């Protein structure tokens, strides 16, 4: 059986894709669109007719390990790593540089923001904003993806600003004193933090999660003084 793949050539650089042993597909020309420099893991199945008549796009330079499942209407960006047994339900959007650990399940219509990380065995039922880490049987936000941000070249100053913003939004002493909207607005008006583009992108990612037809963000732990 042949693998149905359409290569999206966006530059003159050398393009490639790699199917590891046991990866198979079916003859449905034009149904699966895959960009360049992607690696498909062992015994993966791509290009076969899924349980929906609509199909979306996988971008460039992704590493999709064995036994992953990307369901109908998903949209996968670039430079993502989906570890073994990552399962994405329908209409999930994965931005860029997202990393999932093994046996991760993502609920339909959820969004995974760029540079986010999902811990092993997580069940993600809502959005994970940019730069953040989520983990747990019912995944909660666990702070910033510090290792991933450092590896991807974010500066110490950028990371420090994002950590300060995260603490003000999600780790205030009494999270019930003011609403999430009020805490976001306070950070947006902070004289130092507001000038950091990465911090502004993080705030916008949080706000986008509450737009119409979005699922909101994963739960987070409320901290107190005790």
Number of structural domains found in the chain: 1
For residue 193, being part of any structural domain is answered with yes
State the DSSP code for 218.
P
Contact yes or no for 125/138 (Cβ under 8 A): yes
Could you say which of 73, 107, 119, 121 is catalytic? 73
Which SS3 state, helix, strand or coil, does residue 160 take? helix
Q: In terms of residue numbers, what domain contains 207?
A: 149-220
Q: What angle do CA 112, 113, 116 make, to 5 degrees?
A: 85
**Which spans in the chain are helix H?**
146-151, 156-170, 180-188, 197-208
Could you say which of 26, 69, 72, 190 is catalytic? 72
For residue 191, being part of any structural domain is answered with yes
Q: Residues 210-222: pLDDT tens digits?
A: 988 889 999 986 5
The answer to whether 222 is a known catalytic residue is: no
The answer to whether 90 is a known catalytic residue is: yes
**CA 65, CA 44: separation in Å to the nearest integer?**
8
For residue 128, being part of any structural domain is answered with no
Q: How many residues does the chain have?
A: 226
pLDDT at 1 over 50: no
**CATH number for the domain including 154?**
1.20.1180.10
**CA 85, CA 105: separation in Å to the nearest integer?**
8
For residue 190, being part of any structural domain is answered with yes
For residue 22, being part of any structural domain is answered with no
For residue 158, being part of any structural domain is answered with yes
Read off the pTM: 0.79
Could you say which of 26, 69, 90, 216 is catalytic? 90
Report the half-sphere exposure of 103 (CA within 13 A, side-chain side). 4
For residue 125, being part of any structural domain is answered with no
Q: What is the CA radius of gyration of the chain?
A: 19
**Mean predicted lDDT score pLDDT of the chain:** 82
**CA 37, CA 23: separation in Å to the nearest integer?**
16
Q: How far is CA 42 from CA 20, 106, 122, 145, 155, in A?
A: 5, 21, 22, 28, 36
pLDDT band at 124 (very low <50, low <70, confident <90, very high): very high
Q: How far is CA 15 from CA 6, 21, 39, 217, 222, in A?
A: 12, 20, 12, 36, 47
**CA 93, CA 72: separation in Å to the nearest integer?**
11
The answer to whether 25 is a known catalytic residue is: no
Closest CA to 170 of 184, 156, 157: 184
For residue 204, being part of any structural domain is answered with yes
Higher pLDDT, 7 or 31: 31
Q: Residues 135-180: pLDDT tens digits?
A: 998 999 999 999 999 999 999 999 999 999 999 999 876 656 688 8
């Amino acid at each position: 059986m042949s693998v149905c793949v359409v290569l999206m050539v966006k530059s003159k650089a050398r393009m490639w894709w790699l199917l590891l042993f046991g990866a198979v597909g079916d003859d449905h020309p034009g149904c699966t669109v895959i960009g360049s420099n992607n690696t498909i893991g062992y015994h993966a199945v791509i290009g076969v007719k899924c349980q929906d008549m609509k199909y979306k796009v996988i971008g460039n330079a992704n590493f999709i390990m064995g036994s992953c499942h990307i369901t109908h209407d998903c949209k996968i960006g670039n430079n993502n790593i989906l570890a073994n047994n990552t399962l994405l339900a329908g209409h999930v959007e994965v931005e860029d540089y997202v990393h999932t650990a093994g046996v991760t399940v993502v609920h339909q219509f959820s969004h995974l923001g760029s540079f986010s990380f999902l811990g092993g065995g997580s069940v993600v039922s809502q959005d994970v904003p940019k730069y953040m880490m989520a983990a747990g049987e019912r995944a909660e936000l666990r702070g910033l993806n510090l290792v991933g941000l450092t590896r991807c070249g974010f500066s110490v100053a950028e990371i420090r600003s994002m950590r300060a913003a995260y603490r003000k939004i999600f780790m205030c002493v009494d999270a019930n004193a003011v609403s999430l909207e009020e805490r976001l607005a306070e950070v947006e008006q902070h004289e130092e933090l507001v000038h950091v583009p990465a911090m502004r992108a993080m705030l916008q990612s949080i706000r986008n999660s509450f737009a119409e037809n979005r699922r909101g963000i994963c739960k987070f732990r409320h901290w107190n003084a005790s």
